[in-house]
Amino acid sequence: MTETKKDESKKGYEPPPGSVTDHTQTFGGRQLAFKAHAEWLVLHKKDEPLAEMFHVAYLAKRAEVTSRPLTFVFNGGPGAASAYLHMGALGPHRVCFDANGTVPKPPVKIAANQESWLPFTDLVFIDPIGTGFSRMIKPATPEAKAGEGGKEGSTKTDEKEFFKLNRDLESLGEFISRFLSKHRRWESPIFIAGESYGGFRTACMAKRLQEQFGVGLNGVIIISPALEFVPLNPSDYDLQAWTDVFPTMAAAAMVHGRSRRFKRGTPLPKVTAAAEAFAQERLARLLARGDDLPARERAAILQEMSEFIGIPADYLEASEGRIAHWTFAKKLLKDERKICGLYDASITAIDPFPNREWEFGPDPTLSGLDRVFAGGINTQLRKTLKLETERDYHLLSHEVNKNWQDDRQQHFFHRHIGATDELRYGMALNPHMKVFLTHGAFDLVTPYYASTRLVKQMRLLPDQRRNLTIRTYAGGHMFYSWDASRQAFRDDIAAFYHSAL
């Protein structure tokens, strides 16, 4: 009797009506028929409906559907919906950028995506609670349960329950498990992909999905991640944050013609290889030795640093070789009254506050993207997929971001936010699991060299290391907005899936 009541409780709440539509699209000269599900899946707490998690699933119409890979996708923030990967790189349609990733003039333009992953995997784009159309469920009042006119619905009242590191991961695990059961896909090869904080999530889920939810993983795709959070908050007392971002600064200086070490147009790998060597061997020595370093050697290192990144040596002397990424973005092209994008330092915008040292203005690679992706995802959902809803689509929720908490209840002296250990654990737990780790070379916020360094420090055995692929593409945080990089990324990922099956 108890189990019956629990089952009835789970079935007693119905989420808003979604949409299921049929599509046929040509990719690389081949037609693919697929269904698109734009729906809500209900999450539970103690067998009571708690939240509605919105998702879009593109599922191929194939007889042997269980043998086809299935990939769960989420973005980051925290507070970002999945629209960025959905409409920027992976889905059947994408928003259009200029060839080098700059934002075109309005209105938004949408095109069939020939670099979609749909030809080789089904795709499920997940919006965490508080993002996209995902919301908490308002509990039914006693009057509603008694049939006296009350009504169950959705509200934001208690959404902060999900604005926590662990709770967020639990909700994603519950969603994936329920989706596999609902669509009978437990036999499918499973992949997960995440970008930015979503890359942090993905690395954590490499352990959690397999150990807590029993979901075996064939592959993990980690895009522009922050795997460890300490380097994101640089101080005078650490080295990593400053050395990790240096190769990105050198690449940006070369692109803008401000490097005195490399001419504009120098192949990117040549620039980054030299900058990595300098960061490891020279800059790290300067930072570690501090005022113990002989003055002549100190001056020589700072001069070399200036030649790489185009910032005057006297400024570097005053800052003792430490230049924050936002300072670099403000100063590099100050004489042209331009600022570099934090998320793609190759892209610039007019500096509206050139006389204000600490006021940055709009970031051309974040603020400028909102109108493109908001227009793109709303068109895809409401027009192409025929979803009817009055809800606003929360593309990037500052409410989620500002309320995010670490709920792991660590002792004060043991606080550490990172996902590299979870990734190592997941790789040890499942030696067949493949990992694809990728960045854009011009991303100042989550610099590629941080992940390169961490992989070197993971103590992987040779067989494990062969299961981990690292790629760096021209572009920034969303390098796939560059046409050539999106195409190369798609080709590399297709080969990765083939190797992981």
Within-domain flag for 136:
yes
Q: 3-state SS of 246-311? A: HHHHHHHHHHCCCCCCCCCCCCHHHHHHHHHHHHHHHHHHHHHHHHHCCHHHHHHHHHHHHHHHCC
- Cross-strand partners of 49: 44
- DSSP states along 401-430: HHT-B--S---GGG---BSHHHHHHHHHH-
Do 223 and 240 have their domain in common?
Answer: no
Do 334 and 454 have their domain in common?
Answer: no
Write down the pLDDT at residue 190. 98
Query: Residue 353 belongs to what domain range?
Result: 234-367
Taking a C-beta distance cutoff of 8 angstroms, is the pair 258, 473 a contact?
A: no
Domain CATH number, residue 174: 3.40.50.1820
Cα separation, 363 vs 344, in Å, equals: 9
- The two tokens of residue 292 are 């113990």
Do 374 and 360 have their domain in common?
Answer: no
Q: What total number of domains does the chain contain? A: 2
Do 262 and 312 have their domain in common?
Answer: yes
Q: Which amino acid is present at 309?
A: I
Which of 343, 367, 391 is the last residue in one of the domains?
367
Within-domain flag for 7:
yes
| Phi then psi dihedrals of residue 248, to 5 deg | -65, -40
Cα separation, 259 vs 319, in Å, equals: 19
CA distances from residue 435 to 29, 49, 65, 135 in whole angstroms, order as listed: 29, 34, 24, 31
Within-domain flag for 77:
yes
Do 87 and 138 have their domain in common?
Answer: yes
Within-domain flag for 354:
yes
Do 135 and 214 have their domain in common?
Answer: yes
Task: Give the number of other Cβ atoms within 10 Å of residue 172's Cβ.
Answer: 28
The HSE-up count of residue 273 (CA atoms within 13 Å, CB side) is 5
Do 272 and 346 have their domain in common?
Answer: yes
Q: Is the peptide bond before 78 cis (omega within 30 degrees of 0)?
A: yes
Within-domain flag for 396:
yes
| Phi then psi dihedrals of residue 494, to 5 deg | -60, -40
Question: What's the farthest any 2 CA atoms get from each other in the chain?
Answer: 84
Within-domain flag for 64:
no
Do 116 and 259 have their domain in common?
Answer: no
CA distances from residue 259 to 175, 364, 446 in whole angstroms, order as listed: 48, 22, 22
CA distances from residue 152 to 16, 140, 378 in whole angstroms, order as listed: 11, 5, 26
Pairing mode, if any, of strands 338-340 and 348-350? antiparallel
Write down the pLDDT at residue 373. 95
Within-domain flag for 388:
yes
Closest listed residue to residue 453, CA positions, set 206, 276, 321? 276
Ranges in the chain, pLDDT < 70: 1-12, 63, 139-158, 409-415
Closest listed residue to residue 475, CA positions, set 453, 444, 430? 444
Pairing mode, if any, of strands 190-195 and 70-74? parallel
| Phi then psi dihedrals of residue 50, to 5 deg | -120, -40
Do 429 and 452 have their domain in common?
Answer: yes
Write down the pLDDT at residue 102. 86
Within-domain flag for 444:
yes
Do 266 and 202 have their domain in common?
Answer: no
CA-CA-CA-CA dihedral for 158, 164, 168, 170, to nearest 10? -100
Do 311 and 215 have their domain in common?
Answer: no
Write down the pLDDT at residue 63. 65
Closest listed residue to residue 443, CA positions, set 468, 402, 472? 472
Do 362 and 378 have their domain in common?
Answer: no
Cα separation, 470 vs 229, in Å, equals: 20
Write down the pLDDT at residue 148. 36
Write down the pLDDT at residue 411. 58
Number of helices and strands in the chain (H, E):
17, 15
